[in-house]
């Protein structure tokens, strides 16, 4: 098969180290917002300048109020007004910054989420057969939310905090004793170092918690999607017990995470308390010695609080940032999965002129040791109806998947109107083919919406025309809500035959050149089967039809019947010709007739 990729295992442990490459991967998604980012940075710097200026204004107010000359009240009043104005500017610039960057964050979340969603639909069938929907949806949800956290808090909390620390250290060193600057630097370095080391230690517990959450979510979704099977075997208690076991693992992981958080918060609090105490003792000694004023004492206290309040928050931000980066990394890893089936470089679109299908010595295997098809060759003429029959596991449905190019052949070629399908675009190929699958899954929407899904741009009259051709009109008119009747999740409110007729109507609306019926009647009773056959017959001659059948009674009128056995075509011909050969088809016909006769007794 063309291409290679590693399938993701949602239960596999995450890497010990978070890949900082995710920051680089995120940057291209911000390119469309350069002006907003620039304006937000200007507001950020303005807000921090105002923030650092506040303690200095406060210091002058205190010193003026502490002066011997009480008559000069106009100066402290002006300073107080300036204090209020600067504080307002600080808040205003901060709000402007958040408002401007909010659009950036939301735009990046939308772009990445959309890209991941498109990529998942571009992946091949093999990937989707192995994925687990619940865990995958949680990975995407956490990854998108992680982008929001990383951008808003890292860019506008971590960076501003260090900018503010740098400005305060420089002012303390220039205006006061270098010891104040040393205390700030040492405490900041100690705090950041301790936070990094402790958070790296805690990351394992965060991952365990996320994995436990994904497993419980996967279990819940898988069980609910298959609730009919659960009911059939009365396994409600068993499913609840398994879900409770997953929740117990999640609870234990949460408990371990909480205990490690206690250790981290305690260490950070000790560093902050030590730095605050040291700076205030130094300032108090200088006030007592007469080398600092009361206002300057207040200034030092205000600056230290101003540093450590956001720095204390920085600990939380860094912890969450690590978790967010792990979540983003998990989501971006989905984008690194390469589809096994890819378009050739500069592949043209398929041009359908007649709808002729050719299989030329086709071989296929899912795995190296498991050959499914071997040297399969046949031709379906334009608007001809060909049937493929055989026992279970003979490779019938694989032919449909290869024609639809869910997989690439391992040998030989498949062509439509002489064009090798591996050399044309998948989109144009699949636009030319409609499939009525054996197990029709409908969206939880109205019957009309499910039919219109075959061509979302179709008019109401075109949809109703397809409904009539599928012999679905009378059934819809009997319903209280008519075409607006909701079919339920996966179409569970409809019977098997009703769902199949919806599928046929949807396939007709697509206006394809080729129609594939993949065992469309295998699970239906005789009455429902007859209605499906009538619907299939009504479109005969309009399309090239490939009917993959288990029941031979459904293909008696086929122009040619291919008998598949062990991945090879062992017989071919019309129904009567194959019966005359007294071969494999004749044996299958007798077996089915005997079973039908016994069932009718």
Q: Where are the domains of the chain?
A: 21-335, 357-432+518-524+532-601, 440-511
Which residue intervals of 404-446 are DSSP H helices?
426-431
Kindly tell me if the per-residue pLDDT of 524 is higher than 60: no
Average pLDDT over residues 284-304: 78
CB 268, CB 252: distance < 8 Å: no
Non-local (6+) Cβ contacts of 41 within 8 A are: none
Q: Residue 165 and residue 151: Cα distance in Å, rounded?
A: 20
Distance CA 354, CA 294 (A): 95
CA distance 508 to 46: 63
Q: Assess whether the region 21-335 and the region 440-511 belong to the same CATH fold.
A: no
Give the angle subtended at the CA of 134 by the CAs of 128 and 140, to the nearest 5°. Answer: 85
Mention every residue, 6+ apart, whose C-beta is less than 8 A from residue 424. Answer: 347, 348, 349, 350
Enter the CATH code of domain 21-335. Answer: 1.20.1560.10
Strands 544-549 and 560-565: unpaired
**Residue 422: strand pairing partners:** none
Model confidence at 242: pLDDT above 90? no
Output the CA torsion sign for 426, 427, 428, 429.
Answer: positive
C-alpha dist (Å) from residue 474 to 482, 497, 580: 10, 14, 41
3-class secondary structure per residue, 120-177 = HHHCCHHHHHHCCHHHHHHHHHHHHHHHHHHHHHHHHHHHHHHHHHHHHHHHHHHHCC
CATH class for domain 440-511? alpha beta
Identify the weakest region by mean pLDDT among 235-244, 446-455, 470-479, 532-541. 532-541
Q: Spell out the residues 6+ positions from residue 390 whose beta carbon is closer than 8 angstroms to its own.
A: 396, 563, 564, 565, 588
The answer to pTM > 0.75 is no
Instruction: Give the separation between CA 495 and CA 202, rounded to whole angstroms.
Output: 52
Interior/surface letters 30-62, b for 16+ CB within 10 angstroms, e for the rest:
beebeebbeebbebbebbbbbbbbbbbbbbbbb
Query: In percent, how much of the chain has pLDDT > 90?
Result: 12
Per-residue pLDDT reduced to its tens digit, 6-53: 333 434 334 445 556 667 777 776 766 778 777 877 887 787 777 776
Average per-residue pLDDT in the chain?
Answer: 79
**pLDDT at residue number 561:** 93
Q: What is the pLDDT of residue 11?
A: 40
* Residues facing 378 on adjacent strands: 359
Q: Report pLDDT digits (tens) over 352-398.
A: 888 899 999 999 988 777 788 999 999 999 988 899 998 887 888 88
Q: How far is CA 461 from CA 451, 484, 504, in A?
A: 12, 15, 17
d(CA 570, CA 588): 13
Q: Is the pLDDT of residue 421 over 90?
A: yes
Longest dimension (CA), the chain: 124
The dihedral built from the CA positions of residue 321, 323, 325 and 331, taken in this order, carries a sign that is: negative
Whole-number pLDDT of residue 321: 76
> What percentage of the chain exceeds 70 in pLDDT?
82
Q: Environment class of residue 167 by beta-carbon count within 10 Å: exposed (0-12), middle (13-18) or buried (19+)?
A: middle
Q: What architecture is domain 357-432+518-524+532-601? A: 3-Layer(aba) Sandwich (3.40)
Q: With CA atoms as reference, report the closest residue to 442 among 506, 378, 390.
A: 506
- In a 3-state reduction of DSSP, which class is residue 494? coil
| Range list of H helices, 346-457 | 396-403, 426-431, 447-452
| Banded model confidence at residue 596, pLDDT cuts 50, 70, 90 | low
Higher-pLDDT residue of 529, 137: 137
For residue 41, give Cα distances in angstroms to 97, 115, 353. Answer: 7, 27, 59
Tokens 């890949």 belong to which residue?
19
Which of 412 and 369 is assigned the larger pLDDT?
412
Q: Are strands 357-367 and 411-416 parallel, antiparallel or unpaired?
A: antiparallel
**Which strands form 433-436's sheet, in the order they lie side by side?**
433-436, 514-518, 544-549, 385-390, 560-565, 568-573
- Partnered with residue 565 across adjacent β-strands are 568
Residue entry with tokens 């060909």: 386
Distance, CA of 375 to CA of 570 (rounded, Å):
11
Backbone φ and ψ for 12, nearest 5 degrees, come out as -70, 145
Contact 489, 442 (CB under 8 A): no
Q: At what angle do helices 236-289 and 178-225 cross, to 10 degrees?
A: 170
* pLDDT score at 576: 92
For the segment 274-285, the average pLDDT, to the nearest whole number, is 84
Distances in whole angstroms, Cα of residue 411 to Cα of each of 395, 509, 599 = 15, 34, 43
Tens of pLDDT, residue by residue over 297-336, are 777 777 777 777 777 666 667 767 777 787 888 788 788 7
Q: In the sheet that 411-416 helps form, which strands lie side by side, from edge to edge? A: 370-380, 357-367, 411-416, 419-420
| Of 90-94, 393-397, 470-474, 566-570, the least confident | 90-94
Contact 392, 438 (CB under 8 A): no
Residue 58's pLDDT band, with cuts at 50, 70 and 90, is low
As a 3-state breakdown, the chain gives helix, strand, coil percent values, each rounded to 5, of 65, 10, 25
- Which residues, in sequence order, are bridge partners of residue 390? 564
Residues 6+ away with beta carbon under 8 Å from 202:
257, 260, 261, 264, 319
SS3 17: coil
């Amino acid at each position: 098969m063309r291409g290679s990729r590693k399938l993701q295992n949602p239960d596999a442990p995450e890497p010990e180290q978070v890949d900082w490459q995710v920051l680089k991967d995120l940057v291209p998604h911000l390119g469309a917002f350069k002006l907003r980012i620039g304006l937000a940075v200007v507001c950020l710097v303005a807000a921090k300048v105002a923030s650092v200026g506040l303690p200095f204004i406060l210091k002058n107010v205190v010193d003026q109020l502490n002066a011997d000359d009480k008559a000069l009240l106009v100066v402290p009043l002006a300073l107080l007004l300036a204090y209020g104005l600067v504080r307002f500017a600080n808040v205003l610039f901060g709000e402007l910054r958040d408002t401007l960057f909010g659009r950036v964050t939301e735009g990046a979340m939308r772009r990445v989420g959309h890209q991941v969603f498109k990529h998942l639909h571009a992946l091949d069938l093999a990937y989707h057969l192995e994925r687990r929907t619940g865990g995958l949806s949680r990975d995407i949800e956490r990854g998108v939310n992680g982008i929001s956290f990383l951008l808003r808090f890292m860019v506008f909390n971590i960076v501003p905090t260090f900018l503010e620390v740098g400005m305060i250290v420089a002012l303390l060193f220039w205006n006061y004793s270098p010891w104040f600057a040393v205390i700030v630097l040492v405490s900041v370095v100690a705090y950041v170092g301790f936070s990094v080391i402790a958070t790296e230690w805690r990351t394992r517990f965060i991952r365990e918690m996320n994995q436990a959450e994904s497993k419980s979510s996967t279990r819940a979704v898988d069980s609910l999607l298959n609730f009919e099977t659960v009911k059939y075997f009365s396994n409600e208690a068993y499913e609840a017990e398994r879900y409770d076991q997953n929740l117990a693992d999640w609870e234990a992981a949460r408990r371990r995470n909480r205990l490690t958080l206690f250790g981290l918060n305690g260490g950070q609090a000790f560093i902050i308390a030590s730095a605050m105490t040291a700076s205030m003792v130094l300032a108090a000694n200088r006030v007592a010695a007469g080398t600092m004023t009361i206002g300057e004492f207040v200034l030092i206290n205000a600056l230290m609080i101003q540093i450590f309040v956001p720095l204390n928050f920085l600990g939380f931000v860094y912890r969450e940032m690590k978790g967010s980066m792990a979540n983003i990394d998990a989501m971006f890893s989905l984008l690194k999965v390469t589809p096994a089936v890819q378009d050739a470089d500069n592949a043209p679109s398929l041009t359908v002129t007649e709808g002729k299908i050719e299989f030329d010595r086709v071989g296929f295997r899912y795995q190296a040791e498991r050959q499914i098809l071997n040297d399969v060759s046949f031709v379906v003429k334009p608007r001809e109806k060909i049937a493929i029959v055989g026992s279970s596991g003979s490779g019938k449905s694989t032919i449909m998947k290869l024609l639809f190019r869910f997989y690439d052949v391992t040998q030989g070629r498949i062509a439509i109107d002489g064009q090798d399908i591996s050399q044309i675009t998948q989109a144009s190929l699949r636009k030319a083919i409609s499939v009525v699958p054996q197990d029709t899954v409908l969206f939880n929407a109205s019957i009309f919406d499910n039919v219109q899904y075959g061509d979302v741009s179709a008019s109401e009259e075109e949809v109703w025309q397809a409904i009539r051709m599928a012999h679905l009109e009378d059934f819809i008119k009997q319903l209280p809500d008519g075409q607006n009747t909701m079919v339920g999740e996966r179409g569970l409110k409809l019977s098997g035959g009703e769902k199949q007729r919806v599928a046929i109507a949807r396939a007709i609306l697509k206006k394809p050149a080729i129609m594939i019926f993949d065992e469309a009647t295998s699970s239906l009773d005789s009455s429902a089967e007859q209605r499906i056959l009538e619907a299939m017959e009504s479109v005969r001659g309009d399309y090239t039809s490939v009917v993959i059948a288990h029941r031979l009674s459904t293909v008696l009128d086929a122009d040619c019947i291919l008998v598949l056995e062990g991945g090879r075509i062992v017989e071919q011909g019309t129904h009567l010709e194959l019966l005359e050969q007294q071969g494999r088809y004749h044996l299958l016909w007798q077996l089915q007739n005997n079973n039908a006769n016994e069932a009718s007794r």
